[in-house]
Each structure stands twice: as structure tokens, then as C-alpha cells.
């Protein structure tokens, strides 16, 4: 049985975590399979957005330490050539947005998967905890860099330094998730948002938006600001740029082709 299921649906790639009997805890195979799914999302030019979800009652219980700990102790966490780090800590550019939907338990690396996604949805009964400090380690998938930025220092440290459990309402309050929905509706809502991106937004505009935001985070606001006018001028020169202007003039929906 595959640990990660992928389904191409028009311009979307649905990515399903699939170890429900282990509460979707990540072993080495699952880590690499998820990396392959993210690489496919980036490489397939027909795909415009991804949706990350989990089979079963829980998003993920985090790492399967029995399987993964020996590799971590050795200080090695390399990815196969056909995969990339789905926690987006490899310094490589990411051009396709990911909408993530969580339910049940969302622990440790699961929170960091959400933080690495672009839009995050959670069922109202989702339970979160960044437990690493209770296991003698610390969050190494991006929570220490992303959660303070998203939630503010005090909110982030409240949960990172204690490992305490918190609910979806708190996740919404601190900005870990963008929306909470009735349990069972999280996947439909994530797909709805991803489809709005894939069908209604210009792919080159989406890519430029992600690139500009990532540049500001990695290089500072001024590095992004220096590119604003030039980037927009380049977009206006594309077929989609012309279509965007024409659709505005004609007061109709635009039909973007990604060129």
C-alpha cells in the first residue's frame, strides 16, 4: 500500500498521506514519497496547485521515531533525486501553491507541513501540539522560523517551548490556519480554494506572487520592492497579461493559458 497517494485532477494535484493505521506518522518511505509528490507538483507544467490531505481520522502524529531516529542520529536527512523537501527548507524556489487541510491529531512535523503550505484549513476538532521539547529535541522542520513570523514571538513560544496541546480555535487565532470548518468539510474547502487558484488566477501571476513573497522573506523587503515594476512589466508582455487586460475591457472572465 502506498504511503502517499497522488491524484491528478485537471490542474490540481491531490496528495494524500496514507498510513492511517499509524495515525499517518512519517517513516522514511513516507517522507520520501511525499517529497516525490511535491517534486511532481513543481515539475508538471499542467499542474497549477496542490492539495495536501490525510486519509483516516488524523492528519499526522509526526515522525515514526523508531524508523526515522537512526537516520537523524547520523545527522543525515537527504532526499532522493526525484524528490524535494516538502517542508520547503531546501532554499529552492517554490512556484506552485499548496492548500493543506488538517483533521484529528496534527503533531510536530504536521504543524510544520501546514506552515510550509500557502493556505491552511483545519477541521474545528483538530488538535495540535509541537511536542519536540518533550522528547529531548526541538522542531527542525521550520516551526522555529515560520511560527514566530506567522503568530508573533510570544504566541509561538507559548507552544514551542511547552509542547502543550492546543485546538483549532487557537490555531486560527494565532494564524497557524486561515480557516476552520465543520469536521469532514476540510478537504472540500481546500479543493475549492485550490480550484479557484487553478481556474481563476493567471499561472504566471500566481508564480510571480509566490516568488515575490518568498524573496521578501529570504532577502528582505527591499529586494522584493526593487523587482515590483520590472516584474509587472514582464507579466503585461505575456499572453496572459494581454488576456487579463482584454477581459477587463470586455468585462468577462479571463481565460489564462500560462504563457
Q: Which residues are identified as catalytic?
A: 112, 132
- CA-wise closest residue to 59 among 17, 22, 21: 17
Residue 234 contacts residue 202 (beta carbons within 8 Å): no
Where are the alpha helices (H) located in the chain, listed in sequence order? Answer: 28-43, 65-73, 109-116, 143-151, 153-160, 168-174, 186-200, 203-219, 221-225, 228-236, 239-250
Give the angle subtended at the CA of 101 by the CAs of 97 and 107, to the nearest 5°.
Answer: 110
Q: Cα(20)–Cα(156) distance, rounded to whole angstroms?
A: 29
Give the angle subtended at the CA of 76 by the CAs of 164 and 214, to the nearest 5°.
Answer: 65
Residue 98 contacts residue 118 (beta carbons within 8 Å): yes
Other CB atoms within a 10 A radius of the CB of residue 238 amount to 17
Q: Cα(220)–Cα(166) distance, rounded to whole angstroms?
A: 32
Nine-digit cell string for 58? 488524523
3-class secondary structure per residue, 29-55: HHHHHHHHHHHHHHHCCCCCEEEEEEC
Amino acid at each position: 500500500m502506498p504511503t502517499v497517494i497522488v491524484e491528478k485532477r485537471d490542474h490540481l494535484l491531490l496528495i494524500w498521506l496514507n498510513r492511517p493505521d499509524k495515525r499517518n506518522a512519517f517513516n522514511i518511505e513516507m517522507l520520501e514519497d511525499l517529497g516525490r509528490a511535491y517534486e511532481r507538483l513543481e515539475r508538471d507544467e499542467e499542474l497549477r496547485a496542490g492539495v495536501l490531505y490525510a486519509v483516516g481520522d488524523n492528519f499526522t502524529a509526526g515522525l515514526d521515531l523508531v524508523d526515522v531516529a537512526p537516520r537523524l542520529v547520523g545527522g543525515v536527512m537527504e532526499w532522493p533525486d526525484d524528490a524535494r523537501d516538502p517542508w520547503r527548507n531546501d532554499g529552492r524556489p517554490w512556484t506552485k501553491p499548496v492548500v493543506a487541510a488538517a483533521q484529528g491529531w496534527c503533531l510536530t512535523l504536521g504543524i510544520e507541513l501546514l506552515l510550509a503550505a500557502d493556505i491552511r484549513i483545519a477541521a474545528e476538532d483538530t488538535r495540535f501540539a509541537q511536542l519536540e521539547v518533550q522528547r529531548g529535541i526541538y522542531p527542525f522542520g521550520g516551526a522555529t522560523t515560520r511560527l514566530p513570523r506567522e503568530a508573533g514571538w510570544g504566541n509561538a513560544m507559548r507552544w514551542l517551548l511547552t509542547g502543550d496541546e492546543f485546538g483549532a480555535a487557537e490555531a486560527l487565532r494565532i494564524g497557524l490556519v486561515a480557516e476552520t470548518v465543520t469536521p469532514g468539510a476540510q478537504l472540500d474547502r481546500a479543493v475549492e480554494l485550490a480550484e479557484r487558484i487553478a481556474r481563476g488566477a493567471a499561472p504566471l501571476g500566481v508564480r510571480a506572487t509566490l516568488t515575490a513573497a518568498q524573496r521578501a522573506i529570504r532577502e528582505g523587503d527591499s529586494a522584493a520592492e526593487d523587482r515590483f515594476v520590472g516584474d509587472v512589466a514582464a507579466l503585461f508582455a505575456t499572453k496572459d497579461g494581454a488576456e487579463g487586460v482584454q477581459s477587463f475591457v470586455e468585462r468577462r472572465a479571463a481565460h489564462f493559458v500560462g504563457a
